[in-house]
């Protein structure tokens, strides 16, 4: 009897598109009245103004157009996730060119020699850095290049691709869950709720620190276990294939760490420092970041003395390796396209508004958190969810004696938690695809940790509502 194989990420996401399209035939269409919020410079829904509108059920044509419109809206010409997909391809080319020089492999060998017997310390240090990026500026798509970088490092240390993927995904994700000054979550949500973004910051610090400690414990525990017994890895059946794919240039022989390779590694590191500075300080997004990595790839090729033919061939091959990830991003975005075009997003928000009205403080904040969890699956963008839900849900806190800042924290922690696992997130699906970790296996591995984080969030929110 042939063993059943779970479908790929592409099939899972396309199945969700079909499911949401089916719901557009069942859920009534509706919309809130929208008004411009001058502080956000965006239109936001007005609480209490929900009304039904003509339905627009999504059919077969809409289903097949959804991944296309997820990348680029064919009707309006507006960009969807095409900028992120292009960024992924350029990052693939940049990594391909850098790998070709042997600089990364030589650097990995030196790191492993220095950390001999202490490799597991990379986990808390790196997760702390990614968490810092998450809490300061909501590190998300910008984390995708680090998967390709960390997988060979972790494998050389005796771990597996899941250790690398979870270090990035859980690190940046727990930082976003406990955002302190993140302008794309905390600041937008607080503005939409009509409060200073510093209100409730101590609660979010508590979420950040406790969540980081839990995630470090969970990943480190797994890493030490599979280093002792590689057969316990959730991707043990892919071990030989992964070694060929990620460590193809590593022959076991010592690579000479030449001056040229040192310069290339410095350029490699500087590129990421510039990316973080550009996003956090200069307000860069995918266009500027992509251009910077393209320039960095050319600079690396010049330092390495590559011919024009070698450079272009290597760059294209590197981009080809991440083509599947770029496609996943478009399909994931297509789910949101179907929801919005089917006019059911606001209907679901209106149902949430009725659910929390008039509840006692502790029950109110926990039901609000659960609602934000559900909405986060449907609206994976943290800023998009803030603009959609805060103007409606935050004012309801006033009638229960709950501070609006706790509602902001409930939204933020729910969104951050869901974005550690949701298949509608291009970061989750894209990052796991880069690391070649099957989504369902990751889900099974991280499920107990998610339960612990859920309990932690509920306890912290409940205590805050009682104080």
- Looking at residue 448, its pLDDT comes to 96
Flag whether 228 is in a domain: yes
Spatial neighbors of 70 by CB under 8 A, at least 6 apart, are: 80, 81, 329, 330, 331, 332, 333, 334, 335, 336, 337
Flag whether 137 is in a domain: yes
- Looking at residue 233, its pLDDT comes to 93
Residue 1 has pLDDT above 50, yes or no: no
- Looking at residue 100, its pLDDT comes to 86
Flag whether 445 is in a domain: yes
Flag whether 3 is in a domain: no
Query: What proportion of the chain, given as a percentage, has pLDDT over 90?
Result: 34
Flag whether 39 is in a domain: no
**Given pLDDT bands bounded at 50, 70 and 90, which one contains residue 159?**
very high
- Residue numbers of the domain that contains 190: 8-24+62-466
More confident residue, 363 or 136: 363
Q: What is the pLDDT of residues 296-353, one digit of tens each?
A: 999 999 999 999 999 999 999 988 877 877 787 778 778 878 888 898 878 877 887 7
Hey, how many other C-beta atoms are within 10 angstroms of the C-beta on 18? Answer: 15
Flag whether 339 is in a domain: yes
Q: What is the pLDDT of residues 416-435, one digit of tens each?
A: 999 999 887 878 988 998 89
Domain count, the chain: 1
CB–CB of 260/304 below 8 Å?
yes
Candidates 274, 306, 316, 317; CA nearest to 293 is 274
- Looking at residue 280, its pLDDT comes to 67
Mean pLDDT, residues 250-258:
63
Mean pLDDT, residues 82-89:
83
More confident residue, 139 or 190: 190
Compute the distance between CA of residue 6 and CA of residue 441 in angstroms, rounded to an integer: 10
Tell me if residue 72 falls in helix, strand or coil: strand
Flag whether 249 is in a domain: yes
Query: What proportion of the chain, given as a percentage, has pLDDT over 70?
Result: 93
Flag whether 40 is in a domain: no
Which two tokens mark 172? Answer: 């940046």
- Looking at residue 302, its pLDDT comes to 95
């Amino acid at each position: 009897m042939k063993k059943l194989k779970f479908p790929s990420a592409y099939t899972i996401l396309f199945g969700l598109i079909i499911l949401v399209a089916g719901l557009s035939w069942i859920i009534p269409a509706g919309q809130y009245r929208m008004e411009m919020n001058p502080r956000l410079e965006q239109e936001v829904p007005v609480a209490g103004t929900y009304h039904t509108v003509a339905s627009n059920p999504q059919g077969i044509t809409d289903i097949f157009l959804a991944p296309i419109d997820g990348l680029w809206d064919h009707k309006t010409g507006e960009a969807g996730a095409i900028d992120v997909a292009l960024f992924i391809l350029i990052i693939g080319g940049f990594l391909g060119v850098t790998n070709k020089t042997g600089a990364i492999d030589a650097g990995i060998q030196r790191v492993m020699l220095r950390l001999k017997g202490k490799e597991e310390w990379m986990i808390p240090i790196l997760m702390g850095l990614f968490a810092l990026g998450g809490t300061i500026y909501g590190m998300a798509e910008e984390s995708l290049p680090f998967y390709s970088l960390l997988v060979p490092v972790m494998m050389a240390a005796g771990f597996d691709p899941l250790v690398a993927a979870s270090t990035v995904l859980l690190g940046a994700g727990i930082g976003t869950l406990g955002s302190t000054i993140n302008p794309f979550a905390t600041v937008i949500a607080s503005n939409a709720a009509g409060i200073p973004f510093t209100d409730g910051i101590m609660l979010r610090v508590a979420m950040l620190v406790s969540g980081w400690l839990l995630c470090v414990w969970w990943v480190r525990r797994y890493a030490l276990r599979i280093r002792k017994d590689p057969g316990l890895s959730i991707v043990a059946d892919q071990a030989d294939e992964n070694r060929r794919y990620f460590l193809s240039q590593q022959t076991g022989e010592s690579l000479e760490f030449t001056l040229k390779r040192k310069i290339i590694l410095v350029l490699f590191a500087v590129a990421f420092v510039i990316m973080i500075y550009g996003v956090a300080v200069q307000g860069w997004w995918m266009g500027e970041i992509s251009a910077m990595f393209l320039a960095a790839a050319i600079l690396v090729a010049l330092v390495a003395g590559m011919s024009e033919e070698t450079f272009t061939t290597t760059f294209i091959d590197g981009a080809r390796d991440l083509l599947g990830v770029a496609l996943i991003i478009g399909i994931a975005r297509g789910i949101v396209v179907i929801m919005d075009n089917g006019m059911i997003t606001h209907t679901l928000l209106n149902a949430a508004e009725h659910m929390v009205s008039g509840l006692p403080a502790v029950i109110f904040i926990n039901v609000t958190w659960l609602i934000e969890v559900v909405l986060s699956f449907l609206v994976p963008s943290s800023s998009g969810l803030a603009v959609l839900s805060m103007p409606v849900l935050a004012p309801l806190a006033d009638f229960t004696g709950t501070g609006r800042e706790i509602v902001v924290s409930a939204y933020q922690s729910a969104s951050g938690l869901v974005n550690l696992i949701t298949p509608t997130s291009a970061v989750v699906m894209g990052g796991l695809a880069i690391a070649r970790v099957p989504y369902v296996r990751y889900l099974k591995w991280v499920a107990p940790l998610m339960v612990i984080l859920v309990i932690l969030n509920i306890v912290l929110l409940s205590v805050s509502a009682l104080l």
